[in-house]
Amino acid sequence: MFEKCFLFPEIHSKKDMNSLKSLRYSSIREALTHQNPTKSSFLCPLYFYNQRRWLKPVDSAQTRLENRTRDHQLDKIIPQIRKLNIILEISKLMSSKKRGPFVSLQLMSRWKNLVGLNVNVGAFIGKYPHAFEIFTHPFSKNLCCKITEKFKVLIDEEENVVRECEVDAVKRVKKLLLLSKHGVLRVHALRLIRKELGLPEDFRDSILAKYSSEFRLVDLETLELVDRDDESLCVAKVEEWREVEYREKWLSKFETNYAFPIHLPTGFKIEKGFREELKNWQRVPYVKPYDRKEISRGLERFEKRVVAVIHELLSLTVEKMVEVERLAHFRKDLGIEVNVREVILKHPGIFYVSTKGSSQTLFLREAYSKGCLIEPNPIYNVRRKMLDLVLLKTRYSRMLLQREDETHREEKSRDVLISSNEDWEGGRDGDWVLPILGK
């Protein structure tokens, strides 16, 4: 009798019934939310601890992003490029001022939010003496700043190289229009990746309006391709790699016709069955980016076509990288209306997503080796020179100050000579003749 009462206590009232129901609901809630089990000592020992139920781990884009294998060499590039972009933005603001080639530090302190800095502008400028020169104004005696001659030469060189590579920029825009479903792109989307495509700042007037025989503006924000029958441009970059693999490695067409170059990161954990899945995926046929066939409705083939379109878009950029958020502006026009980030993270051997900085940046893995482009171009080379100058920071700054002192002395001595020549009246045969003997 005692055992029966202990194991199954009698419920004497409605209040006891409600307490039992609330205990059951709380145990289910705790199991779903992975909370610690609660003790219920007022009931029998069977309910002393609630059962914990484990849910199946979630496999989403966010979990793949958190658990991916990091590439530290590519991660280092992002903060370096961000610093360079801030310096270029400051130089752009300085050049817009009409007072002269220099700006006071007091005025520059107001640009903190404009250029996206979380520190004082003066402290940031002091770290890069090879890009900025700080001096005391001779009359107002306040601290002023100007761009160094070396950095100014590189800025002008980049503008000149972009102008010289105008034909290549037109080719990139045409290939992007050929990638689109209807030969139409939005100008706003092109403006977002203007720098990545190597387009000048005034590309609307200098490129789009100039080459009206190649493409035309339907309205203010829509660009349309004039001729879609140019088959010479309808060859993807990956096709060149496939041709080399087929010719040099003696692989069959079945193995290379739909394959992609795979470069897994160092430290990547190859799980059981991964190689077989990758081998089967490489053989899956798909509608190639420039083909105007009906796109297959199969999920695997459609996703592989999306991979091919993103691969080609990255191949068209100057530095083979672009921000993931800016890809979203091409989803509708390029026919990649899927979760782009999820597709990218499924293929760590083709793409790499870096989360350094305030945004996510997508890299084409095959294009980089040890943090540098394998096949550099003129625009990349100039930008790399600017980046190398920025990365020097305060190194060799003593030599820089010595050169500045020497230039100031030369200018001062030149001014003294000019003033002495202006004071002297009369002629002389040569500079070796003393003025007093020439009278």
- On the 0-12 / 13-18 / 19+ scale of CB atoms within 10 A, 306 is buried
Instruction: Calculate mean pLDDT across residues 242-252.
Output: 85
Mean pLDDT of the chain: 80
- The confidence score (pLDDT) of residue 406 equals 55
Instruction: Calculate mean pLDDT across residues 189-196.
Output: 94
- pLDDT beyond 70 at 407: no
Concatenate the DSSP letters of all residues of 238-264 into one string. Answer: HHHHHHHHHHHS---HHHHTT-----P
- pLDDT beyond 90 at 169: yes
User: What are 39's two structure tokens?
Assistant: 């003790």
Instruction: Calculate mean pLDDT across residues 284-310.
Output: 87
**What is the length of the chain?**
439
Q: Answer whether 23's CB lies under 8 Å from 40's CB.
A: yes
Q: Answer whether 199's CB lies under 8 Å from 316's CB.
A: no
Instruction: Calculate mean pLDDT across residues 146-169.
Output: 94
φ, ψ of residue 421 in degrees (nearest 5): -70, -35
Number of CB atoms found within 10 A of residue 408's CB: 11
- The confidence score (pLDDT) of residue 147 equals 92
Higher pLDDT among residues 143 and 403, named by residue: 143
- pLDDT beyond 90 at 282: yes
Concatenate the DSSP letters of all residues of 50-82 into one string. Answer: PPP-PPPPP--HHHHHHHSPP-HHHHHHHHHHH
- The confidence score (pLDDT) of residue 419 equals 43
What gap in Å lies between CA 296 and CA 103, rounded to an integer?
59
Instruction: Calculate mean pLDDT across residues 262-285.
Output: 91
How far is residue 220 from each of residues 172, 180, 347, measured CA to CA in Å?
21, 19, 37
Q: Answer whether 258's CB lies under 8 Å from 247's CB.
A: no
Q: Answer whether 178's CB lies under 8 Å from 230's CB.
A: yes
What number does CATH give the domain 72-147? 3.30.420
- pLDDT beyond 90 at 364: yes
- pLDDT beyond 50 at 100: yes
- pLDDT beyond 90 at 22: no
pLDDT in tens, 37-48: 444 444 455 444
pLDDT in tens, 326-359: 998 999 999 888 888 889 999 999 999 999 888 8
- On the 0-12 / 13-18 / 19+ scale of CB atoms within 10 A, 272 is exposed
Higher pLDDT among residues 52 and 168, named by residue: 168
- pLDDT beyond 50 at 168: yes
- The confidence score (pLDDT) of residue 140 equals 81
First to last CA, the chain: 141
pLDDT in tens, 259-270: 999 999 888 888
Helix (H) or strand (E) holding 218, with range, is strand 215-219
Instruction: Calculate mean pLDDT across residues 118-135.
Output: 90
Q: Answer whether 102's CB lies under 8 Å from 144's CB.
A: yes
> What are the structural domain ranges in the chain?
72-147, 152-230+377-383, 238-265+272-373
Concatenate the DSSP letters of all residues of 406-438 into one string. Answer: HHHHHHHHHHHHHHHHHH--S--S-TTS-HHHH
- pLDDT beyond 70 at 401: no
What gap in Å lies between CA 27 and CA 283, rounded to an integer?
50
Which segment of 77-91, 119-133, 285-299, 421-435 scores lowest on mean pLDDT? Answer: 421-435
Amino acid, res. 318: V
Which segment of 58-67, 161-170, 174-183, 395-404 scores lowest on mean pLDDT? Answer: 395-404
Angle at which helix 166-179 crosses helix 299-316, to 10 degrees, equals 170
- pLDDT beyond 90 at 195: yes
Nearest partner of 241 among 367, 85, 79, 121, judged by Cα: 367
Which segment of 23-32, 105-114, 118-127, 302-311 scores lowest on mean pLDDT? Answer: 23-32
Instruction: Calculate mean pLDDT across residues 225-241.
Output: 86
- pLDDT beyond 80 at 36: no
pLDDT over 90, % of the chain = 43
